[in-house]
Structure 1
Amino acid sequence: MGNALAFQEDMSQMIQQADSLLKQKSYELSKSHWVEIVSQTPKHNSNYFIYSSKLQYCEAKLLQEEGNYTEAIQKYSSILDMLNKHDVSETRVFRIEVYSGMYHSLAYSGHWDKALETGTEGLRFIDASVDTQTQADYIYDLGYINDRLKNYSEAIKLYQQAISLYEALKENKYFDLGLAYNNLATVYKQIGFFTERLKSFELARIYWEKAPSIKPSYLITLYGNMLKLYMEYGDAGKAKDLFQAIHAIANSAVEPRDKVNILRLQVLYHTFSKNLSKAEEDLETFTEYFLKLPQKESYSHHYLAALIDLADCYILEGQEQKASLTFSKALSMCQDFKQPYYCMLTFTQYTKLATYAKDYPTAIGYLDASLELNEQSPIGLINVVNILIQKASLQLKQNEVTEANRTMKEALSVLAEKKVNTPRDITVETFEQQHSSFFIIAMKDAANFYLDMYHLTQEENHAHYAKYLYEMAAEIFGLYYQNGEYNANLNSLNTSINEGIYQMYTILQRPLSEQVLTRIEQNNSQVLRNEFERKHVQFLAMDKSLLAQRNMLKFELKNSKEGNDSLTNVQKELQEAITKLDAVIAEKAPMYESFYKEDISLQKIQHYLGREELLVKYFVGNKRVYVITLSQQGIELFDLVDTEVLKENLHSFYATLSDPKTNSLPQSRELYTQLIEPFQHKLKPYRTLTILPHDILHFLPFEALQTRSGLLIDRHNIQYANSLSLWYFLKSTPHSSKEAKKLLAAFAPQYGLKGENNDTLRGNRFEDLEGARKEAMKIASIIKGDMYLNEAATIKNFMNQTAAYNIYHLAMHGVLNTNDHTKSGLVFNGNVLFDVSSFYGLYFPADLVVLSACNTGVGQLTEGEGLLNLSNALTYSGVRASVYSLWEVPDKETSEIMVSFYRYLETGANKTEALANAKRDFIKNNPLKAHPYYWAGFVINGDSEPVLQASKSMAYVLLLLLIVVGAVYFFKYFKGRKVSI
């Protein structure tokens, strides 16, 4: 018995050792143990089949490692036959391991369909009894197999399941999570789902950068994919960050594939950055390295990508000869290395050169050559679609209408993956999970085609098709746009789409639909609106002391200078203090995100539009300028003027505005004719015009435009708004504060002695502004506000009081930096500049900020984001309305207008009416200074509501109450006397 027990104990230890070695993937050692175990186990023993199965499993794994997949598959199959004769519950986990080994061998041997069949069969054995790690790995593998077989929907579902399981594990599965997200992103690339692709890559980066000892290859590949994605989107800032991240790990790259990848990305990035000389230098380095590689075929696609990208850059720079030579080299290499995809890219780029030369038959020949390659090896659905659209457009240029129409229908059929009879067969559902920029461009180009067809044939159905496809392009753009800051790519796409929409509605003489208006507004940049709304909601929950404290910390951090360790430690302490405050703010206002996702509609706009207010939204397109008017009666669209003609007139008018000695009347009348006259018959009922300028119109004071009977300001109060969505938010969300605030703070620094020039400008550096100080003192007395005069007008005092008042009057010098708008700003006491970037970092819950300084409304005009100036920065910081200047304004005249403005505010007038009346009074009282230079420089943007409405209303209520009480007393008194008589 003792010997039997000892034998059983030895056997048990041997089994444990064999299983342990199996888990450690030491298959040779584990096999030797299982051989011994099987030899000592009788066949009638119930565990014999388990031990025998594990022995064969070790043998199968060893065959698999040797690359002998055929015999390995036979072994796995034999094991499964053996296991299927026994109870599942005893062997569930082991069965899953066997299925895993079998589908891996099938996949490695190229039998992906059978691998999927085997893996799916094994999936039924997974239940809650199987550990989470095993489940996650198995499901991830199935996702990968479906990915390889182009079963993209199933692959996405399985990857997402695997991610959920990895996230549920207690240990940090950073590498596995990063890998799953990376693969998920590649699947989204295949179906063109840009939004999810970008999100997945960004999550992969987060996890892989946390993963310990990760190989540089993974990060280089990931960063490269993300870099190309940001370049496609046009996000230069993020592209630069990724490029720097790649360089940070470049020295640790030792594998040829990593070095080749980095060299390719260098050329790609510098062509994107328009640094052609650097791109040429990078390509020369790449060429030297590539030619020395022993296996060029393996890396030829990287080199070809760099070549073609550089050649495309040559085209953009007008260097057609260099482009042609580079394409010729690329085409030769494509054929040598059998790279049909890159042959296709080369042919399509050759098409550009032939099209520029108006050699349309040759261009079509290149496109046909590209399509022939698709028959040999798939070049991608969207590539086929865009090639066919280009071909149809070129056929139309040759008046081959029938052939062009047939080619376009073929393109749309490929896109829809079904036969398309008309463009209306393409619906937005086609793009819900595939909306990269290439799909947007395809829809826009198809719309352009039908517009050209309409011009050629004058058949109205073609105009309707163009309108439909432009609107479809706008819908896809809405799916593609990530709600972040605009860039040149986004602006170019959106502008061309919107111009197409406006053009088609004008051609068809159709009223602009509410749905199109909503879509256009959604597609515009939402950065300013979102930030303003976020801060507004947080203002409701915050104590003003917290906001002031955070403002001061941010300013100290921004202005701290690096250079030594102790100062760096100070910066860290400041950042930690800000982080803690932000946590408090977030805790007090946790639901802010839900507030700024509301879409506007015509009905919502009309609800807040007064009977006497007209919204006037301009659009400056590449070819034409349009305007949309919105009132309680509805929407109207007007085609105004050629864009280049408008720009010439604007530049001419701008030159007259800053010089009172010039005659501005002719240009003013011409601009009125172009920008207002087409809809002037609609203006009579409206006292207030809210202008939403676009592009270069941001610089134009519309109140200075000359009508046939006088100035526009004579009949209308003019105000400005950044966007419809922000206008709507201001109207629908009246300002309220957690704490009562004082009314007004006026800041007026003292600079130097006043110069000899009596017409001192508030932009001169830095003469004393005596008029500004007197102006501030006068205003403070009118409104009964607080005065921060001379040495009290410091940045520190301003920062400490940013949440204490409703109105801020800043009478001081302004600085305009035309090279870098962030360095423009206001000059406080001691000649200290408070720049635009500092305003962007503020929490500034003011009802009104008056920038009684020069050039505060001038700034850098950016694509899609509008004018980046002090007023824009104030809105970003949370200010509801601002008054600012468009040029260097004279001190004396400014003071007169400002004092008058506050007098009107004091009577309860709204901000827009108060400023308009102040300007009218100035013109009336100063007939020799009627030139716009003296009075038109200041404009108002934002919320127009009265700033003193509440106090005035209360006064009226009290007065009415006194009258009522007096009347009652009077009535009772005389009634009593009458009774006594």
Structure 2
Amino acid sequence: MPHSVRIVIRPKCNWLLLSASFLIVHSSLPISVFPVPPSLAAPTLAQTPETKKAADRLLDQGIQQYQRKQYEAAIQSWQQALQLYQELKDRNGEAIALNNLGIAYRSLSQYETAIRYYKQALPIYQAVKDRNGEADALNNLGNAYGSLSQYEKALRYYEQALSIFQAVKDRNGEADALNNLGLANQYLSQYEKAIGYYEQALSIFQAVKDRNGEADALNNLGLANQYLSQYEKAIGYYEQALPIFQAVKDRNGEAGVLMNLGIAYRSLSQYEKAIGYYEQALPIFQAVKDRNGEAVALSNLGGTYLFLSQYEKAIGYYEQALPIFQAVKDRNGEAGVLTSLGIAYLSSSQYEKAIGYYEQALPIFQAIKDRNDEAITLNYLGLANQSLSQYEKAIGYYEQALPIFQAVKDRNGEASVLMNLGSTYLVLSQYEKGIGYYEQALPIYQAVKNRNGEAKALNNLGNAYGSLSQYEKAIGYYEQALPIFQAVKDRNSEAGVLNNLGITYLSLSEYEKAIRYYEQALPIYQAIKDRNGEAAALNNLGITYQRLSQYEKAIGYYEQALPIFQAVKDRDGEARALNNLGYILFVSGQVAQAEQTLRQSMQVLECLRVGLKDENKVSIFEEQTTTYRSLQTTLVAQNKFSEALEIAERGRARAFLELLAQRFGDSNTKAVKDGESDPVKPQSKTTCTSVKPPTLAEIQQVAQAQNATLVEYSIIDDKTLYIWVIQPSGAIAFQQVSLKSFLQGTSLAQLIANIREDQLGVRGLGVVPVQRSRSTQLPQNLSFKTLHQLMIAPIAQYLPEDPNQRIIFLPQGALFLVPFAALQDAEGTYLIQQHTIAIAPSIQTLQFTQQQRQRLEAKDSDTQPALIVGNPVMPKLTLEAGQPPVQLATLPNAEAEAKALAQLLQQPALLQNQATEAQVKALMPQARLIHLSTHGLFNDRLGLSSSVALTPTAKEDGLLTAAEILDLKLQADLVVLSACDTGRGQITGDGVIGLSRALFSAGTPSVIVSLWAVPDAPTAFLMTEFYKKLETTGDKAQALRQAMLSTLERYPKPREWAAFTLIGES
């Protein structure tokens, strides 16, 4: 009889997709091939002996090639054998050749081709009444559908195979079918059903003394228990399987069970043990020339180093595994390791690289119709985009993954996506939505008895309620999660939830309880050798003792945490520990030592920003501003006011300056005169900053070059404001203002918000307004006067008496939203009536804007005088993730403003349908003046989504975003955004992140924006006056002041004239 290859799914090791997601760990299972020894059949009379021998020889040759994993060569041999059997009308040989071809194509991940061959073999086996062959073909069809994640179809084929094996009393076949039924149920998360099938298979294998089969069944029982988080039980089964594989000299089986032992110990956070088992498995796979197993072992080593946060080692192992999977044409393995590389880069915060690997893996999974892993990769694409703050994109990927997981009935995968959706909405501060997704995930984990997932869902619910300051509820969820993590022996997560309980009790000021939880977490982190966790727990203990004013103890904990952070190269943790240590040294009176420690923290923080994309620099800088503030306080305490100014300047707009240096360094350098400092000259390679922070002398030079008085503000905390005044002569004055006495129970940010809320402009979005609370508001005139008392009165003696002399304010934080022009002194005089005003993000940016203006003046290029846009056909806007878009209101008065300006400047205006996004983008780089009279939109969650509304087309959405502006090269000397809220954006330690920042980065030295929705009529009047004055004076700050004064006479309320602010060159 011709020889057949029987495929039996006997998973020997978990492999490939070791997830670094904080929500779910997913692993796929390998498929092992067990060929049945050949048996002989007597030739029939109809067969030509030589042809028959040739066909049988080709069949044998194919089997040998298959066993050497030469699948394509095996296919060629079996195709030739098939043709001969068909010529001989040898139906039995034909069926076996077809069946074997199916097996080879399945090994090449070409599952649909495999199914076609199996389906051709099946009716032939039935016709010749070869019931064993029929059962094999049914079993193989089950395997192929299982590879396509169509597990219910697979079950139906396995059940048919089982009944035939039982009918013909083929006990080995019966046990194999039971084993496969177990595996299919395992994939459907029916773990207890799977265990039932494995136990039936085990007893048969033992009865027929099939020791290989017995070891396989024990191994599979280990896997099923591992999925139920019963890791100790799983290890018990693996330890029974291992000596059997060794006894029967099944080296592949031995290596596979060593791999599974590694995975079980990894799940118990015993990473060193896990690595030990993988390192035993690897040389066995290499010795038996099982290249696939070798790649799997390398991949799992990579995954374990991933858990240990040793990302470079992890990547090294994955990069060894990848070419092996490619060489053996294991497309599933190739895609899996690409996904794992993505996870490694995701874990090391290299999100774009991670996305690149996921995008390579995804089409492979789609091509081989592996829907389960397709969904997993989509899930990771969601995580990577979420990490880049691309929340809409992340939600889109999660929403693609979710129905796939549901379709293939992967309930664990379904729950993981629900968890990730919950986490995304949590970041968007949509806590109720986030909780809703977690509450959907929790019962799924409970239904499939995934206790680890259940505990993680409970933990995340605790995090969500903690974000809502509902600490008691948060504690309730953490307390439910903790015993589950303990029961499944997930020590890492156990320590994590103990840490979360500590943080929550810290928020409740229950310091003793917080300490108890941190002290429980600490020895666990130490036991599992999680040095990052250990350092974090020590740091948190330091913070808690600091709150208790037990400074010596706090210093002790920080000093223990610091060398650990340094040893594991956690620069962020190192910087935080240094910052905390510096602060505690300061409050305990060790001021000089505090200064030294805080300077070290600052240097580490600046190194963290190297190599990041601009938006990521902004995000990380926002977290780092505490150190700069603490260092300023330490210097002021030593009366080092000028050094404190240097740090205040060093601690603002760094990401912005680094972006400007990257984009305009060469041209700006040429514009610097001999002897002047170059703001964009890169530092030497021994430092981490790409732009040299200004020295005191350089700050004084800027004041002289601008011929302006510079006023720099630094908000230290909710009680203290620092103000420096740098006069054109170089003289520097410092004032420290106590905020508490002025604010009457409110905060500085709320005081500014009260002013903004009182400016009830007309040029709004045309959507349903939000009811505003007035409970904490001061009367408007008192708010303006209070801000004047805080910000202007303490330095009034240092300001110029000549109203034509410019003052450039350098705000920080919420002060960017202060309408300086409208601040009133005790007599009710507005600041604009006394002074000419401009603002800038930092002193050093003024060097840049001056050079940009000089560059534009020197450039002889073909430009248009002006681009004027008014009242486009409005686009629709999504105001909230997951909600339908709303239509923006039209602005007829903005159209009138644009027409009046066009007449004044003798230039055409783009109105309504003419003002398409594509047309405006095309004309912006050619214009010397850009005036946009339309809606301005901002996104508090991600500043680069701030945008200007224009006419949409089939290819453009009508939202000209800050990110799109960054891609332009502008030659405009001035851009005016005569629209609502164009001065708004996310306020960070790097300044206002939005439209004005994008325009400067695109090459514009001066921008006028509005701080609130301005009424139409006064806006049109003010803008007309501004352009008239600009034509006569050529000075933007003077022109804006004169326009405001003229508007004030006609429209006396500040909301009608004070919103517009000049940023940059005047």
TM-score tier after normalising by the smaller chain length? 0.5 to 0.7
Correspondent of 1:478 among 599, 605, 609: 609
- Structure 1 unmatched ranges of 5 or more: 1-8, 34-58, 78-97, 418-429, 538-596, 752-762, 945-981
SS in 2 for 1:484: helix
- In 2, Cα distance between equivalents of 1:698 and 1:899: 25
- In 2, Cα distance between equivalents of 1:775 and 1:337: 72
- In 2, Cα distance between equivalents of 1:804 and 1:271: 43
Contact conserved, 2:722 with 2:734, CA < 8 A, in 1?
A: yes
Correspondent of 1:158 among 316, 323, 332: 316
Tell me the equivalent position of 2:1030. 902
Distance change (3 Å), C-alpha of 1:731 and 1:60 = farther
Q: Give the drift of 1:300.
A: 1.5
Correspondent of 2:748 among 643, 646, 653: 646
Q: Give the drift of 1:213.
A: 2.1
**2:616 is the alignment partner of 1:503:** no
Distance change (3 Å), C-alpha of 1:280 and 1:770 = closer
Correspondent of 1:719 among 831, 838, 843: 838
The residue type paired with residue 806 of structure 1 is R
Correspondent of 1:218 among 373, 383, 389: 373
Tell me the equivalent position of 1:361. 512
Contact conserved, 2:976 with 2:1008, CA < 8 A, in 1?
A: yes
Show CA shifts across 1:68-105 (max 9, x none).
Answer: 7668779999xxxxxxxxxxxxxxxxxxxx9x999767
Tell me the equivalent position of 1:454. 586
**2:693 is the alignment partner of 1:601:** yes
Q: Give the drift of 1:385.
A: 1.6
The residue type paired with residue 444 of structure 1 is R
Count of residues paired in the alignment: 762
SS in 2 for 1:786: coil
Q: Give the drift of 1:854.
A: 5.9
**2:68 is the alignment partner of 1:23:** yes
Correspondent of 1:806 among 928, 935, 949: 928
Q: Give the drift of 1:209.
A: 1.0
- In 1, Cα distance between equivalents of 2:912 and 2:477: 65
Residue correspondence of structure 1 range 180-329 to structure 2 within 5 A: 180-184=337-341, 194-196=348-350, 198-211=351-364, 212-213=367-368, 215-224=370-379, 227=382, 236-293=391-448, 296=449, 299-329=450-480
Q: Give the drift of 1:391.
A: 1.9
The residue type paired with residue 721 of structure 1 is A
Contact conserved, 1:447 with 1:466, CA < 8 A, in 2?
A: yes
Distance change (3 Å), C-alpha of 1:663 and 1:346 = closer
Greater alpha carbon shift after TM alignment, 474-483 vs 763-772: 763-772
The residue type paired with residue 674 of structure 1 is L
The residue type paired with residue 382 of structure 1 is N
Residue correspondence of structure 1 range 42-191 to structure 2 within 5 A: 107=259, 113=276, 116=279, 141-142=297-298, 144-145=300-301, 148=304, 152=310, 155-156=313-314, 158-159=316-317, 161-162=319-320, 165=323, 176=333, 178-184=335-341
Contact conserved, 2:985 with 2:993, CA < 8 A, in 1?
A: yes
Distance change (3 Å), C-alpha of 1:172 and 1:535 = farther
SS in 2 for 1:890: helix
Contact conserved, 1:467 with 1:505, CA < 8 A, in 2?
A: no
Contact conserved, 2:939 with 2:986, CA < 8 A, in 1?
A: no
SS in 1 for 2:838: strand
Contact conserved, 1:470 with 1:500, CA < 8 A, in 2?
A: no
Correspondent of 1:675 among 791, 796, 812: 791
Residue correspondence of structure 1 range 631-780 to structure 2 within 5 A: 639-640=736-737, 642=739, 645-647=747-749, 649-650=751-752, 670-676=786-792, 687-705=805-823, 717-722=836-841, 727-733=846-852, 734-735=855-856, 739-744=861-866, 766=892, 776-777=902-903, 779-780=904-905
Show CA shifts across 1:210-240 (max 9, x none).
Answer: 2122534434445555655666676534542
Tell me the equivalent position of 1:837. 960
Q: Give the drift of 1:310.
A: 0.4
- In 2, Cα distance between equivalents of 1:750 and 1:216: 45
User: Considering only aligned residues, what root-mean-square deviation do their CA atoms show, in Å?
Assistant: 5.9
Q: Give the drift of 1:243.
A: 2.4
- Give identity over the alignment, percent: 13
Tell me the equivalent position of 1:90. none
SS in 2 for 1:837: strand
- In 1, Cα distance between equivalents of 2:869 and 2:302: 67
- In 2, Cα distance between equivalents of 1:158 and 1:850: 50
Tell me the equivalent position of 1:391. 541
- In 1, Cα distance between equivalents of 2:55 and 2:779: 109
Please report the TM-score for the alignment, with normalisation by the length of structure 2: 0.58
SS in 2 for 1:718: strand
Greater alpha carbon shift after TM alignment, 407-416 vs 853-862: 853-862
- In 1, Cα distance between equivalents of 2:309 and 2:760: 65
Show CA shifts across 1:842-899 (max 9, x none).
Answer: 6573424564846464545555686577656755766543334454362685266325
- In 1, Cα distance between equivalents of 2:344 and 2:1019: 63
The residue type paired with residue 743 of structure 1 is P
- In 1, Cα distance between equivalents of 2:724 and 2:320: 50
Tell me the equivalent position of 1:881. 1006
Residue correspondence of structure 1 range 823-834 to structure 2 within 5 A: none
SS in 2 for 1:940: strand
Q: Give the drift of 1:305.
A: 0.7
The residue type paired with residue 348 of structure 2 is F
Q: Give the drift of 1:288.
A: 3.8
- In 2, Cα distance between equivalents of 1:342 and 1:791: 57
Contact conserved, 1:389 with 1:446, CA < 8 A, in 2?
A: no
Q: Give the drift of 1:307.
A: 0.2
The residue type paired with residue 358 of structure 1 is S
- In 2, Cα distance between equivalents of 1:743 and 1:690: 28
Contact conserved, 2:949 with 2:958, CA < 8 A, in 1?
A: yes
Residue correspondence of structure 1 range 392-541 to structure 2 within 5 A: 392-417=542-567, 431=569, 434=570, 439-440=572-573, 443-444=575-576, 447-448=579-580, 450-452=582-584, 454-455=586-587, 457-460=588-591, 463-464=594-595, 467-468=598-599, 470-471=601-602, 474-475=605-606, 477-478=608-609, 482-484=613-615, 493-510=623-640, 511-512=642-643, 520-521=651-652, 524=655
- In 2, Cα distance between equivalents of 1:839 and 1:107: 50
Distance change (3 Å), C-alpha of 1:397 and 1:687 = same
Distance change (3 Å), C-alpha of 1:219 and 1:462 = farther
Q: Give the drift of 1:745.
A: 5.7
Greater alpha carbon shift after TM alignment, 683-692 vs 470-479: 683-692
SS in 2 for 1:334: helix
Contact conserved, 1:484 with 1:526, CA < 8 A, in 2?
A: no
Contact conserved, 2:823 with 2:830, CA < 8 A, in 1?
A: yes
Please report the TM-score for the alignment, with normalisation by the length of structure 1: 0.62
- In 2, Cα distance between equivalents of 1:652 and 1:335: 50
SS in 2 for 1:602: coil
Contact conserved, 2:658 with 2:691, CA < 8 A, in 1?
A: no
The residue type paired with residue 502 of structure 2 is T
- In 2, Cα distance between equivalents of 1:302 and 1:860: 38
Greater alpha carbon shift after TM alignment, 329-338 vs 619-628: 619-628
- In 1, Cα distance between equivalents of 2:911 and 2:463: 59
**2:498 is the alignment partner of 1:347:** yes
Q: Give the drift of 1:769.
A: 8.5
The residue type paired with residue 460 of structure 1 is V
Distance change (3 Å), C-alpha of 1:356 and 1:881 = closer
The residue type paired with residue 351 of structure 1 is G
Show CA shifts across 1:534-579 (max 9, x none).
Answer: 9999xxxxxxxxxxxxxxxxxxxxxxxxxxxxxxxxxxxxxxxxxx
Q: Give the drift of 1:803.
A: 4.8
Residue correspondence of structure 1 range 903-918 to structure 2 within 5 A: 903-905=1031-1033, 909-916=1034-1041
Distance change (3 Å), C-alpha of 1:413 and 1:606 = same
